[in-house]
Amino acid sequence: MVTMDEIVALCKRRGFIFQSSEIYGGLNSCWDYGPLGVEMKNNIKRLWWKVNVQLRDDVVGLDSSILMNPKVWEASGHLSNFADPMADCKVCKKRWRVDQLQEYKCPECGGELTEARMFNLMFKTFMGPVEDESAVVYLRPETAQGIFVNFINVQQTMRKKLPFGIAQIGKSFRNEVTPGNFIFRTREFEQMEIEYFVKPGTDEQWHKHWIEQRVNWYYKLGIRKENLRIREHGKDELAHYAKACVDIEYLFPMGWSELEGIANRTDFDLTQHQKYSGENLTYFDDETKQRYIPYVIEPSAGVDRSLLAFLIDAYEYQQIEKDDYRVVLHLHPAVAPVKAAVFPLLKKEELVKKAREIYNELKYKWIVQYDDSGSIGKRYRRQDEIGTPFGITVDYQTLEDETVTIRDRDTMQQVRVHIKEIIPYLEERIEV
């Protein structure tokens, strides 16, 4: 299996991901997505949006602000639950607020405690010119609350009936105590979340539905089945408001770790916001003529973690012949940052002209590259390493019969295709 160091090195070498503010020595756990990283990230977000919003009649999108009224975080529990120094008992695993202890040991079993950690994960800042308590605002630690507070706005303007969902992609911030493992756990990251509102009593069935949907999304985009598993949270792990939660885990180089969480959050969030805001957040059910607060199923995925999983899953250091190796990313064409590269076989005027024509047409549809420097073999290898699924070569035959060769990244086999057929050929293999 590929190591994290190899992935980090490839990302830097080929322009996927750089250390943030690198020329100043970087900033712990912050990363910048380079030209290829941003394309891949956009692909992941688009592919998520397409199946979860575009293709579904029962889900609509939202883009709420990062800064919100601080009351939101009071209602959600983020302020009170995450605001204290906490330590865990090494023996019975109970968690304690350190500032309430008489002695630094477990009050229940007397066991040794871990080092205390500040548990308020929220980044605090000030709104406006005066830096006092009344001006405190927080960077959101999840996108979900922006959805809950817009539940009525969206439901009424879109005239949605249960069950329906609201999807959002955006940045979240957590002052993580132990960030690390490259982009796996950072303090600034991007989430893709859906809050799917359902009638109480139908929640378990919808929870199953979303687990299935989400696992299939990863499979469809090429994640190997043996590297994905579903882990149900035990009673001791469940958040106090959640009825059930499963994690989709991926076999990262550091071991099985969470890629996405899918929780049944019951009516907790809307009930809390109703209480704290004084607004009526109930839903009127036309069929039963009753008003109630819906239950909610929440599939919550990380963009960065998905990207990391796609890279790791795709990476291969492959022996082609004796003493001949290549690094190849077997990315699904839909996820790959560059869809095709166009090459003139040689840097000859008539070949260059034709290759440029093809390149100029393809770039209206996809991110493609043109490359005429170095041997054709070297050019193929450069594209293999960034996962470009198709290499299109213009040779002397092209000038006679308008055909090109298209090389498949994985098999390295070439087929001859008429220039007019290039777009349908690629479309069929890229679009999902």
Q: Binders of ligand ATP among 104-163, rule CB under 6 A?
A: 142
Q: Min. distance of Cβ 187 from ligand ATP in angstroms?
A: 7
Give me the amino acid identity at 303.
V
- Binding of ligand ATP at residue 301 (CB under 6 A)? yes
Strand partners, 25: none
Binding segment for ligand ATP (CB under 6 A), chosen from 49-57, 160-168, 181-189, 310-318, is 181-189
Q: Min. distance of Cβ 252 from ligand ATP in angstroms?
A: 11
Q: Min. distance of Cβ 349 from ligand ATP in angstroms?
A: 49
CB neighbour class for 287 (10 Å; exposed up to 12, middle 13-18, buried from 19)? exposed
Q: Min. distance of Cβ 72 from ligand ATP in angstroms?
A: 16
Task: By CB under 6 A, name the one of 76, 120, 191, 403 that touches ligand ATP.
Answer: 191
Contacts of 159 (CB under 8 A, 6+ apart): none
**For ligand ATP, the closer CB: 39 or 193:** 193
Q: Give the SS3 label for residue 344.
A: strand
Cα–Cα nearest to 29, from 172, 182, 174: 182
**For ligand ATP, the closer CB: 183 or 329:** 183
- Binding of ligand ATP at residue 260 (CB under 6 A)? yes
**For ligand ATP, the closer CB: 192 or 362:** 192
- Binding of ligand ATP at residue 64 (CB under 6 A)? no
Q: Min. distance of Cβ 298 from ligand ATP in angstroms?
A: 8
Q: Binders of ligand ATP among 362-401, rule CB under 6 A?
A: none
- Binding of ligand ATP at residue 300 (CB under 6 A)? yes
Task: By CB under 6 A, name the one of 14, 78, 140, 305 that touches ligand ATP.
Answer: 305
Task: By CB under 6 A, name the one of 14, 174, 332, 409 that touches ligand ATP.
Answer: 174
In angstroms, the CA 197 to CA 160 distance is 10
Binding segment for ligand ATP (CB under 6 A), chosen from 55-63, 280-288, 296-304, 339-347, is 296-304
Task: By CB under 6 A, name the one of 304, 313, 372, 384 that touches ligand ATP.
Answer: 304
Cα 228 to Cα 2, 37, 190, 212: the distances in Å are: 16, 23, 21, 13
Binding segment for ligand ATP (CB under 6 A), chosen from 31-39, 259-267, 286-294, 390-398, is 259-267
**For ligand ATP, the closer CB: 262 or 336:** 262
In angstroms, the CA 342 to CA 359 distance is 6
Task: By CB under 6 A, name the one of 14, 160, 185, 354 that touches ligand ATP.
Answer: 185
And the tokens for 400? 């006679």
Q: Min. distance of Cβ 64 from ligand ATP in angstroms?
A: 16
Indicate the pairing of strand 85-88 with strand 95-97. Answer: antiparallel
**For ligand ATP, the closer CB: 185 or 207:** 185
Q: Tell me the residue number closest to ligand ATP, measured at CB.
A: 302
In angstroms, the CA 58 to CA 55 distance is 9
**How many residues line the site for ligand ATP (CB under 6 A)?**
16
Indicate the pairing of strand 228-232 with strand 244-252. Answer: antiparallel
**For ligand ATP, the closer CB: 301 or 430:** 301
In angstroms, the CA 214 to CA 259 distance is 11
Task: By CB under 6 A, name the one of 33, 148, 189, 283 that touches ligand ATP.
Answer: 189
Contacts of 191 (CB under 8 A, 6+ apart): 142, 143, 168, 169, 170, 171, 172, 300, 301, 302, 303
Q: Give the SS3 label for residue 186.
A: coil
Q: Residue 340's Cα: distance from chain center in Å?
A: 24
Q: Give the SS3 label for residue 4.
A: helix
Q: Using CA of residue 347, residue 366, residue 252, residue 20, what is the dihedral sign?
A: positive
Q: Binders of ligand ATP among 22-51, rule CB under 6 A?
A: none
Binding segment for ligand ATP (CB under 6 A), chosen from 257-265, 273-281, 338-346, 413-421, is 257-265
Task: By CB under 6 A, name the one of 37, 261, 333, 387 that touches ligand ATP.
Answer: 261
**For ligand ATP, the closer CB: 14 or 140:** 140
Q: Which residue has the tokens 């303090």?
A: 187
The number of residues making up the chain comes to: 432
Cα 212 to Cα 58, 229, 230: the distances in Å are: 17, 12, 10
Strand partners, 343: 393
And the tokens for 371? 């490359």
In angstroms, the CA 201 to CA 206 distance is 10
**For ligand ATP, the closer CB: 269 or 304:** 304
Residues making contact with ligand ATP (CB under 6 A): 142, 174, 176, 185-186, 189, 191, 258-261, 300-302, 304-305
